[in-house]
Structure 1
Amino acid sequence: MGLKSKLSAQFEVKTKHDVFLDVFSHKAGHVSTMCPVHIRSAELLEGDFGTVGCKVCWKYTHDGKEMISKQISEAIDEEKKTMIVREFEGDLANEYENWKLTLHVNAEGEKNLVCWTMEYERPNENIPELTNLLQFIIDFTKAVDDHHVKQN
């Protein structure tokens, strides 16, 4: 068993918080048009976008490298405004075990908030924490936010 890690970031966005759950669950195939600098494509491998069990192959550029993440949707809760995906194959799975990403969106008063939480296991202390990946996720979420602000 590896070293368990959990990283989380919550931040305010300009777009109504519901948009993000819809984009990342139901409209993942369009994310590359919203933030092409970060995401090259999100290809549906199995199932339907927005459903539990759907498999998506994300191609993205991180730290100057072309990367792939094949993810399966484990949970989507429209009422609680959460989504959980797990990587089953890809660049992260080659170094990290049990990589899971949770999206939670909500509103606190006038603030629209997005929270991403990554959980994973490192095989040993020589494998770095994924703080730079969390920053990447924040950056592409903000790019999606900017895209929606420009559209309105």
Structure 2
Amino acid sequence: QPELTLLHYIFTPLLLHPRASSMASTAEVLVAVKSSPDRFWEAIRSSTELFPKVFPEQFQSIEIVEGDGRSAGTVRLLKYAKGVPLATFAKEKIEEVDDASKQVSYSLIDGELVSFYKNFKANLKVEPNGDGSQVKWCMEYEKANAEVPDPDLVKETAANTFSALDEYLAKN
């Protein structure tokens, strides 16, 4: 049983007393990186092994629960490092992968964020951009109720992760 985070104590009363139903929303993060599309895409595709190594302050581990870790149908368990504000763990399912267009879609199926969002799906696409790439990360989510705040911290974390990954790739 994962330990409860501060978010549990903040959001649990709100979840128990919803005031209004919510509708699906979308949000997008665009990050320009210096890495080539092929190099950045391969790093994303290798995130199961790479992210805990590159980002030990964020990821304790990423484990493959089902599948091969790279193709549609794969289920991964992300265990976050102590001190990560969003959650202690998340389980995600890779829904679609298109290596030709450098695009992957996944959905959140377990973890603390499931308490806050009825649905949470994300799509990541790496596109050429000048001498580097543009990383486009879109999420579609439905809040559990109207009191749940917008996922600004999730967006900020995604943007910071892509920038830090680009810095890592430039040095390695």
Is TM-score (shorter-chain normalized) higher than 0.5? yes
> Per-residue deviation at 1:66?
4.8
When the two structures are aligned, how many residues end up with a matched partner? 151
Aligned to 2:15: none
Aligned CA distance change for structure 1 residues 63 and 30 (closer, same or farther; 3 Å): closer
Aligned to 2:53: 33
Aligned to 2:6: none
Residue 104 of structure 2 is aligned to residue 96 of structure 1:
no
Distance 1:39 1:143 in 2: 14
Segment drifting more, 101-110 vs 58-67: 58-67
Residue 24 of structure 2 is aligned to residue 9 of structure 1:
no
Give the RMSD, CA atoms, in angstroms.
1.8
Aligned CA distance change for structure 1 residues 20 and 59 (closer, same or farther; 3 Å): farther
In the TM superposition, 1:1-152 aligns within 5 A as 2-61=22-81, 64=85, 66-151=87-172
Identity %: 25
Instruction: State which structure, 1 or 2, has the greater radius of gyration over its C-alpha atoms.
Output: 2
Aligned residue type for 2:117 = Y
Structure 1: which 5+ residue stretches go unaligned? Answer: none
Aligned CA distance change for structure 1 residues 128 and 103 (closer, same or farther; 3 Å): same
Does the CA contact (< 8 Å) of 1:13 and 1:112 recur in 2?
yes
**Runs of 4+ deviating beyond 6 Å:** none
Find the residue that maps to 1:12 and give its secondary structure: strand
